[in-house]
Chain A
């Protein structure tokens, strides 16, 4: 049974339509890569899934429930954990407080999150705004895990980071993949890293799903056609 499904989803920013028919399905425990060039609707799709943007047509279902009309906090409470683009932490709060603010009952607690992301443990009492970009990104991942999600959505989690930090984050994501059955929807441009963790992939082109299937089925022709610059 699918955990998340989008069928024929359309969405607009004001009068500008951005999504013209997105279809995707993600099962429990699956890692799905959402791919496409810049501006093809990946982040908008994430905003629709997390209810930060209401879709116009089509259907978005999560854990068997229709998400239409539900506010973002309700989607988060249902188990949608978002690591947003751009490392957005709560300024003025410490690392520990940033984690505490998101805490919901479940298997992910402070100890487990800081075990997965040791840098957060080292910086626990430090103001989140004073962290480096990579550390803030780890904090965003930790904060999403503290909500005890059924589905973790990583939107460009390693974008703009130094290679060492990027590697550290991918190792943490791979660790998540191995240790838990947490479903993950990941958006990223690094094919090699996605290949390590993703089971399936969906490619968007101009706001439409143009290809979906097993990640191993991504041929060089497909990547050249839909992901090349």
Chain B
């Protein structure tokens, strides 16, 4: 068996090496696939903080993914049409600057996660799942009925937003941005999970009463984790929208929430690199099986069933045979 850290390193290096090789071989489509993996892995790492470490089974993370996407879409659409987003009481203009869009996506999705978390974390178990799902669906239907930004048809952005010093239209440079952000998010979540905060979150997941008797306020640590988790997923949404140069209500849909959760489960719940492994497997299945049959989700379902029944640690857990709290 392979030690988990070596497996993590292999996954990380594979994500870097494949697009570099594709760049050398002039295969931009492969680079775009790798970029998609990196972005979806960011969303999965965000969810894994809440789900894996905090035990919060959120079926509404598409809300934050969509908010991030629409933050990009709204700001970029106003920038490309040269119309301000708001004129009074103060002027807010659109922007094509990626860092500004990311900041807005992070702040808005964190604020939404704070509000949704403050309400949904008063429930547990299946009620928590349903409340988070309900919030996601509320935003889905709101986006559908918002004609100013495309309504059901979504919103196309005709330019790629810019990053200082980079040509973001070059697939390898856009991949580099997504890869660096994924790396930073992995470092952040790794540090968080071993900090006093992460330990408190893990403790509250294991046993609320036990955690409370050492002075941990479970609601507060879970709310902070949910907010950070939402912010990370929102950032992924902004990147995903920029990759496709398109946002649509489907980013808010419960299927999107389910797909993010599938990345986490396939790769390994509560494992730092689990979402990366899951996103890789998902995109590979989508690419190869999707080419054979449009009903490729049937095979994805079988793989998911196999993982849940026979490989509770996901890909990482099965290959490394290292136990994790959720296995």
Contact = CB atoms under 8 A, between A and B. Distances in A.
B210 A101 contact: no
Contacts of A146: 214
A104 interface: yes
A193 to B, nearest CB: 24
Interface of A: 50, 52, 71-73, 76-77, 82, 84, 88, 90-93, 97, 100-104, 143-144, 146-147
A73 B325 contact: no
Contacts of A76: 212-215
Contacts of B216: 73, 101
24 contacts: A71-B212, A72-B212, A73-B218, A76-B214, A88-B210, A90-B199, A90-B202, A90-B203, A91-B325, A92-B202, A92-B324, A93-B202, A93-B203, A97-B199, A100-B196, A101-B199, A101-B200, A101-B202, A101-B203, A101-B216, A102-B214, A103-B196, A104-B215, A146-B214
B219 to A, nearest CB: 9
A103 B200 CA distance: 10
A116 B225 CA distance: 34
Contacts of B325: 91-92
A178 B214 CA distance: 24
Interface in B161-219: 194, 196, 199-200, 202-203, 206-207, 209-218
A72 B200 CA distance: 15
Nearest to B197: A101
B210 A84 contact: yes
Contacts of B210: 84, 88, 90
A72 B196 contact: no
A144 B214 CA distance: 7
Nearest to A71: B212
Question: Main secondary structure on chain A at its contact with chain B?
Answer: loop
Nearest to B206: A90
B interface bracket (residues with beta carbon within 8 Å of A): 20 to 34
B213 A77 contact: no
Interface in B62-94: none
A101 B205 CA distance: 13
B214 A101 contact: yes
A72 B209 contact: yes
B212 A143 contact: no
Contacts of A73: 211-213, 215-218
A92 B327 CA distance: 11
Given A97-B199, A103-B196, A91 B206 contact: yes
Closest 5 CB pairs of A and B: A72-B212, A76-B215, A102-B214, A101-B199, A92-B325
A125 to B, nearest CB: 13
Contacts of B206: 90-92
Given A90-B203, A101-B214, 13 more contacts: A52-B209, A71-B217, A73-B211, A73-B216, A73-B218, A76-B212, A77-B215, A88-B210, A90-B202, A91-B325, A93-B202, A101-B202, A143-B214
Contacts of A97: 194, 199
Given A73-B218, A92-B325, A52 B213 contact: yes
B196 A82 contact: no
A43 to B, nearest CB: 13
A110 to B, nearest CB: 12
Contacts of B202: 90, 92-93, 101
Contacts of A77: 215
A81 B213 CA distance: 7
Contacts of A101: 196, 199-200, 202-203, 211, 214, 216
A84 B202 CA distance: 19
A104 B196 CA distance: 11
Contacts of A102: 214-215
Most chain A beta-carbon contacts within 10 A, residue among B199, B211, B218: B199
Nearest to A104: B215
A50 B203 CA distance: 18
Most chain B beta-carbon contacts within 10 A, residue among A73, A144, A147: A73
Interface string B284-327: 00000000000000000000000000000000000000001100
Interface string B96-112: 00000000000000000
B210 to A, nearest CB: 5
A156 to B, nearest CB: 15
Contacts of B194: 97
A221 B200 CA distance: 48
Contacts of A52: 209, 212-213
Nearest to B324: A92
Contacts of A103: 196
A68 to B, nearest CB: 17
A88 to B, nearest CB: 5
A178 B210 CA distance: 28
Contacts of B218: 73
Most chain A beta-carbon contacts within 10 A, residue among B207, B209, B218: B209
A90 B203 CA distance: 6
A104 B116 CA distance: 30
Contacts of B199: 90, 93, 97, 100-101
A36 B250 CA distance: 63
